[in-house]
Amino acid sequence: MADPKPPFGKRQRRNLPKPQVRVEAAAAPAQKRSVLLGPVGIGAAALLGIGAITATNGFGLGGTRPDCTASQVATSVAQCEAIQSGPQCAAAFAGGARAVGLSRRGSSGPWSVETLTAGAGSAYLTALGQPFTPRNTCRSSSSTRSVFWGGGWSSGRSSSGTASSQSQGVSRSGFGSTARSFSSSSRGG
Amino acid sequence: MQRIAIAERPNWQALADEYGFAYAMPGGERYWDERAHYRFTLRQIEDDIEAGTSELVALCGEWAGRAVRDEEYLKRLNIPSTYWDWIAQSWDRHDPSLYGRFDLVYDGKSPPKLLEFNADTPTSLYEASVFQWYWLEDRIKAGVLPQGADQFNSLHDKLIARFSAWPTADLLHMTAFSEELEDRKNVEYMAECAGGAGHQVVLLDIASIGLDRMGRFVDEDNREIKTLFKLYPWEWLIHEEFGAAMPGSPTVWIEPPWKMLLSTKAILPELWKMSPGHPNLLESYYEGDPAASAIGRDHVAKPIFSREGANVEIRRDGVTVVAPEGPYDTLPRIIQALAPDVVFDGMRPVIGSWIIDQDPAGIGIREDAGLVTGNTSCFIPHAIVD
């Protein structure tokens, strides 16, 4: 029985099967495809209100890239130092911080570290009481130093166990066994 | 549709490094290859690919609505009955979907044909969404492509917009088997998009997910995982140790559980049975179905779950001509009529037609000289030039 209100495929499909008839003489639409992108492209679309600055992207084409900002929250020294090495992370947490915010402008360069406090819900607040919103408007700054993965790859913690490990009433390693058993295959399609 | 050689940007590898496109040249072999591009007319994109993709979305939605209470189908997918109500509830609640990718064969003239639907864990997203767009901008600036050139690509914007379907008040956890570089990078890109929508993202390895005594999934800091994006297949999750806890946990999953109904090649015979002769479908049956003999001796056999072309067997005149090895050789298979052999300059392109939610949002093309698109097939950028 077909679901009357599907979450997918809401549009009525065409009354098929019939040979698809293409109207070759249809007038060409005035609007090209990437309407959301506009002439300046998706980099600008992702700026989210942050001003454009000449980027040092080395294109050699005389072009410029809009600059970007990135901010992340770390809740441990290890998370913080995975993003920015140096004494700031340890100092912040040694001072009692439960979370720090890391920010930088541009896709390279140092991160600044500030202490955060817990706000309503899962929000974090700066020392000035302003919400600290993690975001990344860089197209991809996914260098190994800017992203922290809990467990597995980057943390140095083992995720290779096949039996659940348990501490403080929490079991782990209950997912991932199939991937591990597939030595060289990809999970994506 | 044409395949046209084009000068590559002299610094594209440096750009790939700069942008974190770390799998552009795995092992020194090109995955991203911009020495050529595919060129479409706007009519081809809109009338054939975009419209065809919308049509396939509608077909899949219709099938999912039937499949959700089709016990024979659920058993065929090897989904234990303990998950059936959970999947049905997910469908009935309209749990939002983020994305998917239809793989199509298209010659520029005839309606595109569906090879498969990557409904759950599609990859090659970053290169389609971002790196390909930068390529277009650069080639236009360099005068290599005309000023009016365009691209079927609003992926980035639509992804950010779609992430607003989930509440931003709580942390958004995102997971994958993070030792796999491509998976990790795809999730990192998704995290950027989620961040653009105001989400506070926590990345964690799939094995780091914890399960507490109250049946809640938690992260490494024992914070409850309220919403979880996973680049990890449903058909694996449900058979792993923690799988049994999923229906009872309050975690919201991206993709939602009902996507299990579509993230399988078993949809191919079902769609064909539902709409035989549909111009965007290839004739398909389950292996062993006597009706499969209608396809004849030229066909392809595909495990109902497989990735990157693994264990796909192509037979011509009844003789196996290609059969890449892989880990899916024990799974039930479907039989599909061979797609038209579309060849440009000796290469066979497969068009990955992306949907965000249920809207066509762009394409990424992978090509191979061989008959099966596998994990070494190159990604080739495209442009729309009228």
Could you tell me which chain A residue has the CA closest to the CA of B374? A189
Q: Looking at residue A67, what is its pLDDT? A: 54
Does the distance separating the beta carbons of A150 and B91 come in below 8 Å?
no
Q: Distance from B298 to chain A by nearest Cα, in Å?
A: 23
Which of A134, A161, A180 shows the shortest C-beta gap to B201? A134
Q: Search chain A and give the residue with CA nearest B154.
A: A34
**Highest mean pLDDT of the ranges A43-47, A82-86, B183-187, B329-333:** B183-187
What is chain A's mean pLDDT, rounded?
A: 57
- Helix segments in B142-291, DSSP class H: 155-162, 181-196, 234-237, 267-274
Rounded to a whole number, what is the distance in Å from the CA of B220 to chain A's nearest CA? Answer: 7
Give the Cα separation of A103 and B106 in Å (integer): 45
What pLDDT, on the 0 to 100 scale, is given for residue A137?
55
- CB atoms inside a 10 Å sphere around CB B232: 24
Q: What is the pLDDT of residue A43?
A: 28
Residue linked to tokens 């497989």: B306
Give buried/exposed letters for A170-183 (b at 16+ CB in 10 A, else e).
Answer: bbbbbbbbbbbebe
Reported confidence tier of residue A47, pLDDT bands at 50, 70, 90:
very low
Instruction: Write out chain B residues lying below 8 Å of A30, CB-based.
Output: none
Residues 6+ apart with CB under 8 A from A183: none
Q: State the pLDDT at residue A55.
A: 24
Q: Residue A68: what pLDDT? A: 60
CA distances from B310 to A148, B157, B233, B375, B377 (A): 31, 32, 15, 9, 13
CA atoms of A43 and B19, how far apart (whole Å): 12
Contact B240 A174 (CB under 8 A): yes
Record: contact A151-B207, CB cut-off 8 A:
yes
Tokens for B232, please give them. 């990890």
- CB atoms under 10 Å from CB of B287, counted, come to 15
Task: Tell me the backbone φ, ψ of residue A73, rounded to 5 degrees.
Answer: -110, 135
pLDDT in tens, chain B (386 residues): 999 999 999 999 999 988 888 889 988 889 999 999 999 999 999 999 999 999 999 999 999 999 999 999 999 999 999 999 999 999 999 999 999 999 999 999 999 999 999 999 998 999 999 999 999 999 999 999 999 999 999 999 999 999 999 999 899 999 999 888 888 888 989 998 998 899 999 999 999 999 999 999 999 889 999 999 999 999 999 999 999 999 999 999 999 999 999 999 999 999 999 999 999 999 999 999 999 988 988 888 998 887 766 778 888 887 887 777 777 777 889 999 998 999 999 999 999 999 999 999 999 999 988 777 766 789 999 999 98
Residue of A nearest to B179 (CA): A153
> What are the chain B neighbours of A139 within 8 Å (beta carbons)?
19, 130, 134
* Contact call for residues B234 and B246 (beta carbons, < 8 A): no
Q: Is the pLDDT of residue A45 over 60?
A: no
- Provide mean pLDDT across the span A76-98: 83
Query: In angstroms, what CA-CA distances link B363 with A22, A124, B50, B348?
Result: 21, 37, 9, 16
Which residues of A are less than 8 Å from B227 in CB distance?
none
Confidence of residue A29 (pLDDT cuts 50, 70, 90): very low
Task: Give the best residue of A5, A8, A143, A181 to mutate against chain B (max B CB count within 10 A).
Answer: A8
- What whole-number distance in Å separates Cα of residue B146 and Cα of residue B152? 16
Say which residue, B139 or A70, is predicted with more confidence. Answer: B139
How close, in Å, is residue A15 to chain B by CA atoms? 10
- Integer-rounded Cα Rg, in Å, for chain A is 24
Predicted local confidence at residue A126, as pLDDT: 86
Report CB contact under 8 Å: A176, B206: yes
Residue A83 has pLDDT above 90, yes or no: no
The bridge status of strand B299-303 relative to strand B284-286 is unpaired
* Residue A126 and residue A92 in contact, taking contact as beta carbons nearer than 8 Å: no
Stronger pLDDT, B122 or A21, i.e. the higher one: B122
Q: A-chain residues within 8 Å CB-CB of B120?
A: 189
Contact residues, chain B, for A159 at CB < 8 Å? 205-208
Q: How far is B173 from chain A (nearest CA, A)?
A: 10
For an interface test with B, give the residue of A139, A154, A184 to mutate (most B CBs within 10 A).
A139
Closest chain B C-alpha to A184 CA, distance in angstroms: 9
Within 8 A by CB and 6+ apart from B378, the residues are B30, B31, B32, B33, B366, B367, B368
Mutate to test the interface with A, among B138, B180, B199 (most CBs of A within 10 A): B180
- Angstroms from A143 CA to nearest CA on chain B: 5
| Residue with the larger pLDDT of the pair A52 and B154 | B154
Percent of chain A with pLDDT over 70: 38
